[in-house]
Chain A
Amino acid sequence: MKELMLGNEAIARGAYEAGVKVAAAYPGTPSTEIISNFAKYEGVYAEWSPNEKVAMEVGIGASIGGARTLVAMKHVGVNVAADPLFTFSYTGVNGGLVLVSADDPGMHSSQNEQDNRGYGLFAKLPVIEPSDSQEAKDYTRLAFDISEEFDTPVMLRVTTRLCHSQTLVELGERVEVENKDYKKDAAKYVMLPGFARDRHAEVEKRMLRLADFAEKTDLNRIEWGNKDLGVITSGVAYQYVKEALPDASVLKLGLVNPLPEKLIRFFADQVKRLVVVEELEPVIEMQVKAWGLKIEGKELFSRLGEYSPEMIAERLSSFKLDAGFGLEKEIPARPPLMCPGCPHRGVFYTLNKMRLTVMGDIGCYTLGALNPLNGMDACICMGASIGTALGMEKARGEEFASRVVAVIGDSTFVHSGITSLIDVVYNQGTSTVLILDNCTTAMTGHQDHPATGFTVKKQPTSRLDIEALIRAIGINAVKVVDPLDLAQLKTALEEELSRREPSVIICRRPCALLEKDPVREKYYVDAELCTGCRLCTRIGCTGIYYVEDDKKAVINSNTCIGCGLCPQVCKFDAIKTVEV
């Protein structure tokens, strides 16, 4: 029986079958399950790196050392890893290296929807795009051969729909690949200008050889149908095209950089109308247009969000969608929110109440920006909170800075907050930084990181001591508080904000989802005492809600885990524990 596998599991399997020995990644939706699945195989090394740049560098070292190596990250992670990546493109590989870039059209769980096929052109990398899990496995395997044959890192570009769809996969056997010999070769691996100039010339030659390969490889194929319409497509959009336009001729590209110019010209010659269906940027379209061919693309399809079969059918056939029932317009949206018992909730409730300016960061706690907590002023990318808070201070002065905090999660602090905190000390900022230490990388599904003391394989390892690190940086004012104790938190904030020197408050309490027996106490609302003031609904918890008819608050005993936050907010002592 073939197995149903997520695209991400299939990539992990493909890497395993290809003989990969070393894999490194930093988690990020939709890429996370690649490494968490790869780590389950025996006899391979896998790691959660502190960030994507480090993951890339570990990968580069393993490749130079001769091993087949997998590096995986979400699209914005490639921005973090871009510096080593661009120059690694010059040195080329020893053992094959495949970098998986998991893009997120539609921004299901991301702060932007950049199209990382652009990196292929920019960094001069071959880019391979599978369209289902079987191809994800097969192309991953093949990518290692291409990497070694053309002496280049290869980008495997996937999107959320592929990563998180399950389709059937025929499994293969692992091939044990011996490490390549390692020989010192400064002209190849030491990128001083003199050596790099030669390597750049090699890169240009490589791209020509790859362009030639693109014409011949099975990764690109034509599926002839009616020749009135010819569609060029790749990735999961191919599946939508086949669904929506079963009769059209299709040129399916599995290698999207470099493009097979001759094959595309040939296809264009045979069809009456040529259209490219590609989500996000017109990467293929612009190149085809530059060759002087007539092709339609972004005049029909958006640069925004995901595509769907019905969208393609509507634009390119006589198919018309029914008007529908229109009910979704009448019903409230359901954005994600902090879980009942989440240790982040009280922090944002307090920050909002104190009317502080909050330079935020990325993680579950970013949900603190939403109504009713409204506790965040800015959130740009991982690690940005501390640097942006310092910038605010330098722009608006110390007085203003005494009402500014940076808020950053534990995993994010290790990812890219440490150097900015050094900057605060070095350049004499006075910011107060809150590290929300829930002892895990919660947003992406509870991965370990250097401060949890466990590896990706759940082996114990040395644990980064965040307090000691901060003191070593040169910060003397370090406090640890329980974020569910609102009074303690508020006092700490007042003290540290008034200090004319940098300070850090670590809000430490494990993520509520990590607790085995999460229910601590049972609470109820004493209807006699409840005045219906609704203050308790300002914490935005699904465990407590207001009943309009009774003008009283009610606790939902199914969702409440007894974190004890709402009783601290109630001014009338109406929220009580159930005696047992």
Chain B
Amino acid sequence: MQNQNKNILIAGVGGQGTLLTSRIIARTAVQMGYDVKVSEVHGMAQRGGSVVSQVRYGKKVYSPIIRKGDADIILAFEKIEAARWLDYLKPGGTIIINNIRVDPLPVLSGKAKYPDDIADKISSFVEKAFVVDADKIAESCGSIRAANVVMVGIFASVFGIPEEEVKKAIQYLVPAGFLEINLAAFDEGKKIFIELNRVK
């Protein structure tokens, strides 16, 4: 069941803007001439639930969903969401973990504990695990809401995707008023990954 397609899994909490991330990545892949499929979550889970979107591209893509153990990269917008989807990562794959904690309902109501050491645990399992402060980086670019585009920058850096292609997609998908902030967030995302990689 091996194939040459690239599989990107984007996990987060409803409302964090994971859909924009998957749409930018997908549009970039379309521009580059690939067959592309994207699976999104709409509906109830968008109200603060656990959400995932999946992008697959390559010569020919059948399934819109990635099979377990087959994601080249996981972009996780929140720490426990990274853990929730970790089984989808390919051996040798990369996981990027946004260093924020969003308490789910069972934690808020005191029925469960938030496992604060979860990012360390993931790093102990996965060699290419990177923890980033995407929210903070986005804030420094002008809006915390651009954290999703910081993640796009990291993705482009990991996959070596030409910057112009991604920026073209961002321009197409992001409203003009927010473009500048988002392009800056993209640049910072690219930079931070190079930085993190050097440290590792």
Contact = CB atoms under 8 A, between A and B. Distances in A.
Interface string B119-135: 00110010000000000
A109 B42 CA distance: 9
Contacts of A41: none
A166 B30 CA distance: 11
B162 interface: no
A147 B44 CA distance: 34
Contacts of A541: 108
Contacts of B93: none
Interface stretch (A262-270, A318-326, A414-422): A318-326
A105 to B, nearest CB: 13
Contact of A542 (B86, B103, B121): B103
B64 A328 contact: no
A335 B39 contact: no
B64 A161 contact: yes
Nearest to B106: A332
Would you call the interface of chain A mostly helix, strand, loop, or mixed? loop
B37 A542 contact: no
A244 interface: yes
B36 A161 contact: no
A165 B47 contact: no
Contacts of A473: none
Contacts of A313: 1, 67
Interface stretch (A85-93, A336-344, A515-523): A336-344
B105 A337 contact: yes
A29 B44 contact: yes
B27 interface: yes
B173 to A, nearest CB: 11
Which bucket holds chain A's interface residue count? 35 or more
A181 interface: no
A30 B42 contact: yes
Which bucket holds chain B's interface residue count? 35 or more
Given A327-B86, A558-B144, A243 B67 contact: yes
A227 interface: no
B44 A327 contact: no
Given A324-B68, A371-B111, A168 B63 contact: no
B165 to A, nearest CB: 13
Contact of B105 (A310, A334, A546, A558): A334
A164 interface: yes
A240 interface: yes
B48 interface: yes
B41 interface: yes
B45 A336 contact: yes
A542 B102 CA distance: 8
B40 A545 contact: no
A372 B121 CA distance: 29
Contacts of B37: 132, 165-167
B84 interface: yes
Interface in A426-443: 443
Interface string A213-254: 000000000000000000000001001101110100000000
6 contacts: A30-B42, A243-B63, A331-B83, A331-B84, A334-B104, A545-B103
Given A109-B43, A166-B40, 11 more contacts: A4-B26, A166-B36, A167-B38, A167-B64, A168-B36, A240-B63, A310-B68, A327-B122, A334-B50, A334-B105, A540-B105
Q: Which 6 pairs of residues, A with B, have the shortest CB-CB distance?
A: A109-B43, A29-B43, A336-B49, A324-B87, A165-B64, A334-B104
